[in-house]
Structure 1
Amino acid sequence: MADREYWENLINGELVQRREEGCNVTAVEQKFDEADKEDVAGLEAIFAELEALPVKEDFPYVEPSTLEEIRAERPEGPRRMLKQFTEAELRDKILGAWLGRCAGCCLGKPVEGWHKERIEKYLKLAGEYPLNDYFPVIVPIPEGYPQHLANHDCMQGRVRYMARDDDTDYTIMGLYILEANGLDFTTENVADAWLNRLPYHLVYTAERIAYRNLVNGIKSPQSASYHNQCREWIGAQIRADAWGYVTPGWPEMGAEFGFRDAAVSHVKNGIYGEMFISAMLSAAFATDDIEEIIKIGLSEIPERTRLNEAMRNTVEWSKRYRTWQEAWDKINEHYGHYHPVHTINNAAVVLLGLLYGEKDFGKTVGISVMGGWDTDCNGATAGSIIGAILGADALPSEWVEPLNDRIMSYVIGFNDSKISDLANRTLAIAKKVLERR
């Protein structure tokens, strides 16, 4: 039976989540504040009341969680693009996306969870602001900074492979799901793959809650919402990449694959984050116009949503402000209240990297990481997109050569894989998708 601590943590998280979803939580919050915290049954009743709250009538957003409703609310978009690919071109772009994701993730991994100001201060102490390489090691590590930086295998001069990370584990999982189940895979296939291939203690936030729900017999879509106060956080967004890699020039299908995956653990903007990035990646194979890629990504999610609005605002701020730091200030002003691993604020930082990066790989991932919050996720996503745009042959050697074509993973059967092998296996699936386009 759940104890007092469980219910207190759940209610505190759910109060935030329901408020963000457009509910008036004032009365329930007051009841919780005044409640006897030793009365577990009373806490459970308060949570049930919180779950049952309706969205306010004046809430300006329409945020469904089924594919049919999502598609009914999306704006116009190309759905399928006419770009034709040679096999060599497609292989280069897929490998570029894999390498870009690994390098960007590796860049952000040592400072995961740091705020923008802390990152800037550290880099200035090292004399390496702005970022133009992997994070430097300062000897000795300055007071107030974590000592693990001294031995971290993603620091400058110490990168020998892509270290294990959940951001890249999920890209590998996407490949595995497609290989094991084919292009018509289901959300249930995704759930089964998690249970069979991923260790429980190496998934986090919404994924861990959904995993627990699955083990307890709670299937999708309930697995995404039952006692899951993290259901709009970044976990689905970081699982988007494989779906974009295998749907080059077909953003509608990339988004659909993303939906099937996201629905096991997320709702609303949590789902949209994965669909948005998947569709952007699909588009990045067919055009190098950053704003067009973003527009196409947004065309696959509902228009009147918090995520869509935030992304459109970020594009507008990038036109108004000369530096990414000025645009970041606007993002922080409007979306800094979200949890540091929420979908919306982190997606905005990814766009900053793409919009201010001038199609330069190092600048793109550097800005996405220097923006702070979920730095490994943001570096990975930005690196993936710019990697697909540029292709492997155009990626700077200083970013990709240290990886030595190796990636570590806790996905069963995939540890110490060759990145190029994963890219070739991805290419084989992409060719099957293109036969359907």
Structure 2
Amino acid sequence: MESLEHQLIRVELEQRQQEGCDTADIRSRIEAVLEDGAEDSVFRTLYDELVALDPVKDFPYSEPSLLDDIRALRPEGPRRLSLTLGEEALSERIHGAWLGRAVGCSLGKPVEGWPKHRIDNYLGSVEALPLTNYIPYREGTISPGLKTSTRDNIEFMARDDDMDFPILGLLALEQKGATFSPRHMADVWLSYMPFHLLYTAENVAYRNLVNRRWPPESATWRNPFREWIGAQIRADIFGYVTPGWPEKGAELAFRDASISHVKNGIYGEMFVAATLSAAFVTADIDQIIEIGLSEIPAQCRLAEAIRDTLAWCNESDDWEAVWSRIDDKYGHYHGVHTINNAAFVAMGLKFGADDYEQGIVVTVRSGSDTDCTGATVGSILGAKFGASALPTKWTDVLSDRLMSSVRDNNDNRISALAERTLQVAIKMLNVPDVVEEETVTEPFPKGMSEGLPGIWNFQLGFGRHELRVRPDLTGEIEMIEFNEVKKISNVKIDGNRVCFSFGVDKGGYEVDIAFDGTIDGDRLIGQCSSGGFEFSATGKRTSG
């Protein structure tokens, strides 16, 4: 079997070129070893050399992957707007977002991955142009497995990863609220989602998580799909629960995206989440999109593609002419890349500003990742219009049902998911805004002179443990009774938030445990998670 490096190096080569690296020399060497069928060790060496490249000095984009750096490069924006919707009206809009997403996903699902010309040729052959309803089924052209998402065959929203991810995000938010971390989101994946139903970047990240490469390393290790669309399709739930608060929606989306993506892959999720947050407070589609752009770096490739698309839409009322310009400039990206698909989303929003059906139809007929883009446009327009405003010919056939592969959430009522989301949103809106958070989370709060470094009596509910952390944040944890010492790793401190990992020996097999909590003076308070289980953990400093 070929090594991972052998399997992935072609995609990584294209990724590095798109990130602004000069790949001319290494490209010729990679092509040569691919032709010769070299040993795996050769591919590993070349892969490491490839990922070590830096962008050329005249690369015109600034594309960081850390939240503070992203925020430093974003344009001016409202950050938080006044939400005037009452609870009943907010419920209607959240329901519209869930329902609109399901409709758009169902519309695009039968032709996922098809190019535009193939979609239009097929629709013409089955006399479905102009497209005014779901895509008809023809045996031998559309897979039998997709028949349940075709016209006259729909009884529910069929299982799709585009609908699994909002449920996974909802679970994390129900469990942790605004405090959920990338590690907690990773644990939700591992506990609730089957590996074989994840694709590209998510599949790679899951593999990395299983091999104890935790965020953010899970996003980068042997992951050439790290700017593809996978994070963007996970954004919606974070916009649903932050109506009128695009900065918070983008922040939550960042935490989720950093599990599997970097740069424009992260920005895609932040953009969509912020756009959805804005859709609850303004009906102006240009303003909605601009607010989304205000949460990502102004000089990144994604922002450029969306700005180009907006300009082209303003110059023409022919969506196919706009599509051609998008394809001319951004068609070199893979069909499931973030950037080209986000441009189709922006176009769909512009042409669907006053017409939900027009929005999802234009988007799906554009081709590429049609279930993803149709779902995103349907979601944003659904949040803008509300459930009762969506055409019943699109919504009624779903019968308020959504099937999912998420454990314990296989057969869902869309209305029930919307109600659960509403409850999270109500709690989220009472979370202090960023100014108040900064006041609370000084790097070392009063009474905590040295932060995490020191010696701690660490209580896990089993055995006696001593946690020892040095100033460089290396350290170990010892089970006192048995003199068993394990190193701590993945140590991260953000204000008074602390995360780290360590192992516990169980019969010669090391179980990985993650701590996520806060420092309050000389006390640690938080939770540990391992293998889908969570338990409380506390610590008391015994020595500085």
Q: TM-score range by the shorter chain?
A: over 0.9
Q: SS of the counterpart of 2:179?
A: coil
Q: 1:170 maps to which residue? A: 165
Distance in 1, Cα, partners of 2:64 & 2:137: 46
The 2-side partners of 1:99 and 1:406 are apart by: 10
Greater RCO structure (CA 8 Å; 6+ sep): 1
Report whether the alignment pairs 1:389 with 2:384.
Answer: yes
Alignment partners' CA distance in 2, 1:8 and 1:45: 11
Give the match's secondary structure for 2:228: coil
Give 1:55's aligned amino acid: P
Query: 1:10-409 alignment to 2 at 5 Å?
Result: 10-35=8-33, 36-138=36-138, 141=140, 145-148=141-144, 152-409=147-404
Separation (CA, whole Å) in 1 of partners of 2:230 and 2:287: 25
Q: Name the SS of the counterpart of 1:417 in structure 2.
A: strand
Counterpart residue type for residue 21 of structure 1: E
**CA displacement at 1:10 relative to structure 2:** 1.4
| Cα deviations by residue, 1:15-71 (Å, 9 ceiling, x for unpaired) | 000000000011111111223423221111111111111110000000000000000
| Corresponding residue for residue 508 of structure 2 | none
Contact 1:341 1:374 in 2 (8 A): yes
User: Which of 407, 425, 429 matches 1:434?
Assistant: 429
User: Could you tell me how far apart the structure 2 residues matched to 1:431 and 1:5 are?
Assistant: 48
3-state SS of 2:149 partner: coil
Per-residue deviation, 1:194: 0.3
Moved over 3 A (4+): 3-6
Counterpart amino acid of residue 158 in structure 2: A
Which amino acid in structure 1 is aligned with residue 287 of structure 2?
E
Deviates more, 1:266-275 or 1:36-45: 36-45
Query: Which deviations, in whole Å up to 9, do the C-alpha atoms of 1:377-411 show, x marking residues without a partner?
Result: 01100000000000011111111110111110010
Instruction: Check 1:172–1:210 CA distance in 2 against 1; reply closer, same or farther (3 A cut).
Output: same
Q: Which has the higher helix share?
A: 1
Offset of 1:4 from its aligned partner? 3.4
C-alpha deviations, 1:171-215, integer Å up to 9, x for none?
111111101122210001100000000000001100000000000
Cα distance in 1, alignment partners of residues 303 and 357 from structure 2: 27
1:131 CA displacement: 1.6
Deviation at 1:349, TM superposition (A): 0.7
**Identity in percent:** 51
Cα distance in structure 1, aligned partners of 2:189 and 2:425: 22
Q: Residue 109 of structure 1 aligns to which amino acid in structure 2? A: K
Contact 1:187 1:220 in 2 (8 A): yes
Is this contact kept in 1: 2:108–2:370, CA < 8 A?
Answer: yes
Query: Aligned partners of 1:51, 1:416: CA distance in 2, in Å?
Result: 42
| Matched letter for residue 132 of structure 2 | N
- The structure whose Rg is larger is 2
CA distance in 2: counterparts of 1:280 and 1:286, whole angstroms? 10
Alignment of 1:405-416 (within 5 A): 405-416=400-411
Deviations 1:325-367 (A, max 9, x none): 0000000001100010000000111111111124211111111
* Counterpart-to-counterpart distance in 2, 1:95 and 1:376: 19
Match of 2:420 among 425, 430, 434: 425
Q: CA deviation at 1:162?
A: 0.5
Shift of 1:5: 5.4
Determine the C-alpha separation between the residues in 2 that align with 1:132 and 1:410. Answer: 30
For residues 267-292 of structure 1, what are the alpha-carbon distances to aligned partners after superposition, in whole Å with 9 as ceiling and x for unaligned? 00000000000000000000111110
How many Å separate the matches in 2 of 1:38 and 1:31?
11
Paired positions, count: 430
Cα deviation for residue 247 of structure 1 reads 0.2
Q: Which amino acid aligns with 2:151?
A: Q
Q: Which runs of 5+ in 1 are unaligned?
A: none
* SS of corresponding position for 2:55: coil
Partners of 2:4 and 2:222 within 8 A in 1:
no
1:434 CA drift (Å) = 1.6
Asked whether the equivalents of residues 4 and 37 of structure 1 are also in contact (C-alpha less than 8 Å), the reply is no
